[in-house]
Chain A
Amino acid sequence: MAINVLIVDDSPAMRTMISRTLQLSGLELGTQFEAGNGEEALGVLREHWVDVILTDINMPGMDGEELVRAVEADDLLKSVPVIVVSTDGTDARMHRLCSMGARGYLRKPFRPEALRNEIWKVLGGQSCTPQA
């Protein structure tokens, strides 16, 4: 089943790198959506179904923490798993995001395999069949 992904990061370079990682990860990918901050992300989520959200924390406007709060507070969106991808590796931030409902937390810098593994883990054994 094709997976739709929303990538939320204010860095176009990082969104490109994450997008490439997704394409090479063995996932059956549907549509990749991108957003530069939390508000844009909510805009995408109002229009489209996504299966997983990858979000940075430090972004201008609505940041990643506020996005996670908004997603978890929404009856429809709260079933969509959120994976935080951030340079912030402080204990307080990580604990707070995870207790708020983030299903995964990946520190930057990361190997592409680490992102792939985090997605597979969060999606709970979604089959990744080699594509001919």
Chain B
Amino acid sequence: MLVVGVGDYKLSCDPGEVITTYALGSCIGVTIHDPIARIGGMLHFMLPDSGLDALKAQTRPCMFADTGLSRLLQDAYSLGAAKSRTLVRLAGGAQMLDANGVFNIGKRNYMAARKILWQSGFMIQSEDVGGTVSRTIRLEISSGQTWIRATGTGEQCGEYPARTGGQEWQLMC
């Protein structure tokens, strides 16, 4: 299993592979999958706009929606994924306090992803975003199925009570 960390992405064309990322919180997890070429990928980004940090945009492009999505998609095309066949799903973007106390970073991340994907010519196959839960997602390369689970640990704080235990995996449409 390939694990995508925060500010990271992974791609695979191995039909036996599974890609996962944990504790999305206010971050957005983007999964892409070309069902004909059987290529899939996942990005886990934290911030909406690389324009505010040119250095990080170079060294850690996957921290940001714009540079991260660009990297994910370009590499997918290089592996043989076709834009018109690729299905895109989004998860995360919960409303939480981040380190700077900015409450709406989750929504801004979500808006940034949607804006870039719309401009790039993608519609969203399905999404599970917002709210206050943290999410974990899993992409199966062979089938393209994306599974999602809400979890209560990690990034919640303040007035949002932590929820104990995980919930069942659910298939995203």
Residues of A within 8 A of B (CB): 21, 24-26, 111-113, 116, 130-132
How far, in Å, is B10 (CB) from chain A's closest CB? Answer: 23
Bound-state CA distance A21–B122 (Å) is 9
**Given the complex, which residues of A lie within 8 Å of B36, measured CB to CB?**
130, 132
How far, in Å, is A73 (CB) from chain B's closest CB? Answer: 35
Residues of B within 8 A of A (CB): 35-36, 82, 84-85, 118, 121-124
Whether the pair B82, A113 counts as a contact (CB closer than 8 A) is: no
Whether the pair B84, A130 counts as a contact (CB closer than 8 A) is: yes
Whether the pair B84, A132 counts as a contact (CB closer than 8 A) is: yes
**Given the complex, which residues of B lie within 8 Å of A112, measured CB to CB?**
118, 123
Closest to B86 in A: A130
Known: A111-B124, A116-B123. 20 other contacts (CB 8 A): A21-B123, A24-B121, A24-B122, A24-B123, A25-B123, A26-B123, A112-B118, A112-B123, A113-B123, A113-B124, A130-B35, A130-B36, A130-B84, A130-B85, A131-B84, A131-B85, A132-B36, A132-B82, A132-B84, A132-B85
Closest to B121 in A: A24
How far, in Å, is B127 (CB) from chain A's closest CB? Answer: 9
Bound-state CA distance A111–B123 (Å) is 9
Q: Give the 5 A-B CB pairs with smallest separation, nearest first.
A: A130-B85, A131-B84, A24-B123, A113-B123, A113-B124
Bound-state CA distance A131–B36 (Å) is 10
Bound-state CA distance A43–B123 (Å) is 32
Closest to A23 in B: B121
**Given the complex, which residues of B lie within 8 Å of A111, measured CB to CB?**
124
Bound-state CA distance A62–B59 (Å) is 57
**Given the complex, which residues of B lie within 8 Å of A113, measured CB to CB?**
123-124
Bound-state CA distance A130–B83 (Å) is 10
Closest to A130 in B: B85
**Given the complex, which residues of B lie within 8 Å of A25, measured CB to CB?**
123
List 13 A-B pairs, Cβ < 8 Å. A21-B123, A24-B121, A24-B122, A26-B123, A112-B123, A113-B123, A113-B124, A116-B123, A130-B35, A130-B85, A131-B85, A132-B82, A132-B84
How far, in Å, is A21 (CB) from chain B's closest CB? Answer: 8
